[in-house]
Structure 1
Amino acid sequence: MTSADSSTSAGPRLLGPAEVRSLAASLGLRPTKQRGQNFVIDPNTVRRIVRAAELAPAGETVLEIGPGLGSLTLALLAEGHRVTAVEIDPVLAAALPGTVSEFAPGQASALTVVEADAMAVSAEEIGAPDACVANLPYNVSVPVLLHLLAIAPTMRHGLVMVQSEVADRLAAPPGSRTYGVPSAKAAWYAEVRRAGPIGRNVFWPAPNVDSGLVAFSRRPAPETVATREEVFAVIEGAFSQRRKTIRSALARWMPDRARLDAVFKAAGIDPMLRGEMLGIEDFARIAGAAHQGQGATPDQ
C-alpha cells in the first residue's frame, strides 16, 4: 500500500503527491500550461468533489474531461460509478487504463478512455453519460461545458471545477455584475450554481488562480420557435456592447430599427433595458419573434 490513502485497506487506492509525481516521472511528463494541466494531488479533495456531485448511490455513467493522471477517475470508480474519460494528451490517455488497473484493479472494467479533444468530441464517442464530473481545462472550460451540454442530452447533472471567476460567471443570475454570455448560454441547458471553492495547494503545479466548483442540473430549454443558434446569436449581440440598451446593442444583429422595435413589441421586452437584465426566456422570446417574421431576418 502507498501513502496516498493508507486509511483504505480494500478497494481503490487514491493518488497523493508522491504517486502523482511518480506517475508523471514514469511518463516523462511535465505539466503544460497550454493544455491547462494542473493535477490534483490531494485524495480528500477528489473525495469531496465526488460527494458534492451528488451521484446516485447505485452508480452512474460519469463523463470526465481531462482525467490527467487519474486522481478524480479513481475517486469516481471507488464509489461504484462507470467513467468515460476524454483525454486529449495521447500519453495520458494511453497510461490511464494501466493506472486504474494498478490502483483499482476491481474497477478497471468500468473505465472507458476516449482520446479526443473535448471541444470537438462527438456524441457517438462519449455514448450516453448520466452525469459529468471533471476538472475542466481552465483555458477552454466554458466552450467545453457548453459543447458537452449540447451533444449529451442524457447528461442530467454534473459538477465541474473551473477558475473561480469563470464559476462566478457561469452561475450568475440576470442583473448581477458577472452575468453575461456564459451565464445566459448555460441557463439554456441547466440551472447552475456555485458549489464551493478549491484551494490552490491541492494541485501540482499550483495554479496562479483560484478555483471553484460549479454544479448544474439540466432543465428543459425555454419554449420558443427559434433555434438554439438563433437564441445564442441574440445573447451574443446583447452583450457585445454591455453598457448600452438592448435596442442599441442588437442594432448590428438587426439593422432595421423599425423591424427591431417590432420584434421587441412582439416579445414584450422593454428595448431600453440592458442585456444584463434579461433572462434566458427573454432572449428566447426575442429570437422567437424574429423567427416568426415580426422583424427582418437577422443579419448574421
Structure 2
Amino acid sequence: MLLLNLMTLLVGAVIFCAVFFLCQALFSRGSVPAARLTEAANGNGNGTTRPLFSPELAESLAAQIPQLRVEAEQLEQELRRAGNYRPTARRDFLAFRAFLMILVVLVTAAAVVIVGPQNVELVYVILAAGVVVLALAYSLPRLFLVWQGNRRIRRIERGLPDALDMITMCVVGGLSLRDALLRVASEIATAHPDLAVELEIVRQQAEIGTLDLAFKQFAQRVDLPEVRAMASLITQTHRLGTNVATALRDAADSLRGARRQRADEAANRTSVKID
C-alpha cells in the first residue's frame, strides 16, 4: 500500500511539472522586446508564441467546458494582466485546459484497462489519483495565469516611476505627450518590456480615441490603486490644460512613496515574525 501511495505521489508530481512547463511555454513572454512591442500594440499580445492547436481544434476544445459571461470576463481580465492581448487568448487558454483534462481522463482510463478487474484495489487507487490529477489539470493553468499576471504587474509597478520621469523630461523638452510615450516606450523596451508594451498601447489608443480613455483603460488593465490615481491625475490635468509635466512628476513621486511604504510594512512584518 505504501508503494501505491508513493507511485500516486510520483505521478501527481510529474503531472504538476508537465502542466507548469506547458503553461510556461504557452503563456510565456516573447523573446524579442521590439517584436513584442509591435505585436502587443497591434493587438497580438505574445505573438511570438506559436499556437499549440489549429483554430478549428482550439474552438472545439474550448467549447467542451462552457463558461458564464462573468467568468469569461474575469478570465479575459486575467489574460490581459498577464500580457496576453491576442484576440484568441481566451480561446487558446480554454482549449489548452480542456486538452489537459481530456489527456488525464484518457491516461486514467488506459491505466484502469491495463490493470484490469483482477486488482480492484489498485483500480480504485488509479481512479482516485485520476480525479485528483483531473482537478489539478483544471485549476493549475488558471493559478499559473494569475501568478504570471501578478509578477507582470509588479514588474510594471517597479518601472513606472522611472518611465514617468523620462516622459516628464520629454514633455519639458517640447514633445507632446503622445510623442513622449512613443519615445519612452522604445527606450525602455529592453529594460522594462512589459511597461513598454503598455505605454505603446496607451499611445495607439490615444491616437484612435482620446488620451483620457487610453489612460483609463491602462489603469483597468494594471488594476492598482496608485496607477488608477495616476491615470485620473494625468487625464484631469490634460483636460484642464494645466502643466502635464508637474502632474507626471507628482505621479512618479506618489508611486515611489507607495512602493516604499509597502516595503517598510513588509519589513516590519518580517521583524515581528522573527521576534
TM-score (normalised: structure 1): 0.25
The higher radius of gyration belongs to 2
More helix by share: 2
More strand by share: 1
Q: Which has the higher contact order (CA 8 A, sep 6+)?
A: 2
